[in-house]
Structure 1
Amino acid sequence: MKDLFDYCRFGDLRLNSRIVRTGLWESEREKTGNLTPEIYDRYENIAASGVGLIITELISLYPRDVFSKYSHTTHFTQFVREAKDLTDLVHVYGVPVFAQLGFVQYNKKTEQNMKIEDLTIDDIRKIQTDFIIAARKIDFAGFDGIQIGLGNYYFLARFINPNFNSREDKYGGNTFNRLRIVLEIIKVIKQTTKLHINCRLNAFDGTTNGMTLEETINIAKLLENHGVDSLQITRPRSPQFFTKENTAKNPLIEATNEIIRNVNIPVILGGGANSQKQINDILNKTDIEFVSMQRPFVYDSSFLVDWQIEGDGISGCKTCNNCYWKKTSTCFINRNPQLNVETNIEF
């Protein structure tokens, strides 16, 4: 029987458990973008808790992206030095850490939030170059891997989606052409860094002429064939908690399971579980071997310690989603997770 606290392999990496912590927003950074003591403390708590893999909060590719005020960027002063301190701290606990990299808007001088069909080839080369330069910085900073944001409604998620990409050149049309911008980035990152490459993909999106599960499976196969080391499966809107009953019938679980059956690289279920029993049921009733969690770590960065002791843990997160909507890395219910003190706050 599989257990969430199994020691296991993730490609070439060794994990202390099957739990992957995926970050989102970074509200505790300084205005200049630099890391604060609170950020280092949070990462140390997560690394020491028994987590298998840490994926950072979003690192925005561009400092003027729509989400850049809520995230890090590789452009901020001393990014490599400070990030190296962070990765060294996480590695003390034998935990690998990936940098999550993505962006939402592409802006060019006075042209803001450009449409995919309006990008020139030079624009595409600019995006690719910026990604590769950022990946080099991430490698220098000691990260074990990079997560390329191809999910949710990030720019590259729209680029590879037939509902948004109406280009008629070699970067539009069929699946391979729409994915070409990403495959070319991956090729150079593989040639110039030692990073494990993970791609975050939407399982489906429900839009007219958009991403179906069949299309995602085709993309997953192409990514594997072109050097991607692992995948994380999500959906455009942030996943909500699964019901305790019939978890194997949850659409995201079913889609992730089907993708796993079509590739030979590790695949992470992208969020939604909130209890030890739920996760172990998923692990033992499906082919899924890795489960991502985000909000429970916002509520309490050390909750896995209690789960290991109790053996039947349930996250204290109430799924109020304020950490998501208000774009913070802190919980609005549990103001002091180290003391496990809740405050009554009305919204």
Structure 2
Amino acid sequence: MKDLFDYCKFGDLNLNSRIVRTGLWESEREQPGNLTPEIYNRYENIAASGVGLIITELISLYPKDVFSKYTQTIHYKQFVREAKDLTDLVHVYDVPIFAQLGFVQFNKHAEHNIKVEDVTIEDIRKIQTDFIMACQKFDYAGFDGVQIGLGNYYFLTRFINPYFNKREDKYGGNTLNRLRIVLEMIKVIKETTKLHINCRLNAFDIQANGMTVEETIEIAKLLEKFGVDSLQITMPRSPQFFSKEYKDRTPPGFKSRVRKDENPLIDACGEIIKNVNIPVILGGGANSKAQINKILNETNIDYISMQRPFVADPSFLVDWQIDDEAVSKCISCNNCYWKKTSTCHINIPATWNVG
């Protein structure tokens, strides 16, 4: 039987458990982005708790992106020095850590939020170069890997999606062409860094003419072929996806019926796992030890990511190791998501510490 606290392999990495912590917003930073004692303390609590892998809060590729006011940015001068302190701290607990990298809007001079079809070849080369340089900084700062944001509605997600990408050149049209912007930079990242490359990828869309599970499988195969080391499978707008409106509608190309009490990603993630030979992480949707172990033992899924439970209590896995009936303190109110904070609005202790 599999257990969430199994020691396991994740590509070339050793994990202390099957739980992957995924971050999102970083509200405790100082301007223009410096790490604070609260941030270091939070990461130490997570690392010491029994987590397998840590993925940071989003690190924005561009300082004037719509999300950069809520996250870290790669551009402030002390980034590498402070990030090295952070990775050294996490590594004390033998926990690998990935930097999550992405952006939502592509802005150029006075033009903002440029559409995919209006991005020039010169713009594409700039985006690729910026990603590659950011990954070289991550490598120097001691990160074990990078998570490239190809899921939710980040810019590259739209670029690879037929619903948004209407280009007629070699960066549009079929699946390979739409993914070309990513594949080209992955090749260079693999050649110039030691980073494990993880891609966060949508399982499917709900709009017509968007991504189907079948096309996501095709993309996953291409990513593996070009050197991606692992995947995390997610959904475009997860809070809405669990609504009644979603459950009454089957996504295009998704043949399995979604049960009322089931995470709709499970079947899709299982199909993707069958078609690749790299680790695949199920992106969230579980909040109890029993629920996670049920998923692990009734499916081919080996790794599960969690975000909001770590916001509610960065050390919750300590209790989970000794209590088989353990449930997360998170009540899924989503205030941390909508208010774009890295702290809980319900569980507010005076301090979190490892002592």
- TM-score, with normalisation over the residues of structure 1? 0.95
Kindly report which structure 2 residues correspond to 1:177-196, keeping only aligned pairs within 5 A, or say none. Answer: 177-196=177-196
Aligned residue for 2:267?
254
1:201 counterpart SS class: strand
Q: The residue matched to 2:238 in structure 1 has which SS?
A: coil
Task: Report the secondary structure of 1:309's partner residue.
Answer: coil
Whole-Å separation in 2 of the counterparts to 1:147 and 1:212: 22
Q: Distance in 2 between matches of 1:164 and 1:309?
A: 47
- Counterpart for residue 33 of structure 1: 33
User: Which runs of structure 2 are paired with 1:46-61 in the superposition (5 Å)?
Assistant: 46-61=46-61
Distance in 1 between residues matched to 2:203 and 2:68, nearest whole Å: 25
User: Aligned equivalents of 2:19 and 2:351: distance in 1?
Assistant: 20
Shift of 1:31: 1.4
Cα displacement (A) at 1:238: 2.5
Matches within 5 A, 1:1-347: 1-238=1-238, 249-336=262-349
Q: Where does the alignment leave 5 or more consecutive residues of structure 1 unmatched?
A: 341-347
Instruction: Work out the CA distance in 2 between the residues paired with 1:58 and 1:316.
Output: 23
- Distance verdict in 2 for CA 1:204–1:300, change over 3 Å: same
Amino acid at match of 2:123: D
Deviation at 1:76, TM superposition (A): 1.2
Query: Letter of the aligned partner of 1:293 in structure 2?
Result: M
3-state secondary structure, aligned to 2:84: helix
Kept in 2: contact 1:34–1:77 (CA 8 A): no
Q: Which moved more, 1:18-27 or 1:203-212?
A: 203-212
Percent of aligned pairs sharing the same letter: 77
Structure-1 separation of matches of 2:79 and 2:158: 28
Deviations 1:258-310 (A, max 9, x none): 00000000000001100000000000000000000000000000000001021
Report SS of the residue matched to 1:327.
coil
Q: Deviations over 1:291-341 (max 9, x none)?
A: 00000000000000001021221001010000000000000000117679x
Letter in structure 1 aligned against 2:202: N
State the AA in 1 paired with 2:235.
Answer: R
> Does the aligned pair in 2 maintain the 1:62–1:103 contact within 8 Å?
yes
Task: Provide the rounded CA distance (Å) in 2 between the counterparts of 1:45 and 1:259.
Answer: 32
CA 247–277 in structure 1, closer or farther in 2 if over 3 Å, else same? farther
d(CA) in 1 for partners of 2:58 and 2:263?
A: 26
Inter-partner Cα distance in structure 2 for 1:159 and 1:197: 19
Write the distance in 2 (CA, Å) between the matches of 1:246 and 1:5: 27
CA distance in 1, matches of 2:236, 2:261: 20
Question: Is the CA contact 1:32–1:77 (under 8 Å) kept in the aligned structure 2?
Answer: no
TM-superposed deviation, 1:206: 1.0
CA distance 1:195–1:248, shift in 2 (3 Å): farther
**Distance in 1 separating the partners of 2:207 and 2:323:** 42
Equivalent AA in structure 1 for residue 83 of structure 2: A
Task: Give the corresponding residue for 1:344.
Answer: none
Question: TM-score, normalising length from structure 2?
Answer: 0.93
Q: Secondary structure at the match of 1:310?
A: coil
Shift of 1:251: 2.1
Q: Secondary structure at the match of 2:104?
A: coil
Note the alpha carbon deviations across 1:224-264, whole angstroms, 9 max, x for none.
00000000000001357899x96995321100000000000
C-alpha displacement of 1:115: 0.3
Alpha-carbon shift at residue 6 of structure 1 (Å): 0.2
The code of the aligned residue for 1:275 comes to S
The number of equivalent residue pairs is 339
State the superposition RMSD in angstroms. Answer: 1.8
CA contact (8 A) 1:33 1:77 kept: no
Secondary structure at the aligned position of 1:179 is classed as: helix
Whether the 8 Å contact between 2:45 and 2:352 is mirrored in structure 1 is: no
Residues 56 and 98, structure 1, Cα contact 8 Å, conserved in 2: yes
Structure 2 unmatched ranges of 5 or more:
248-257
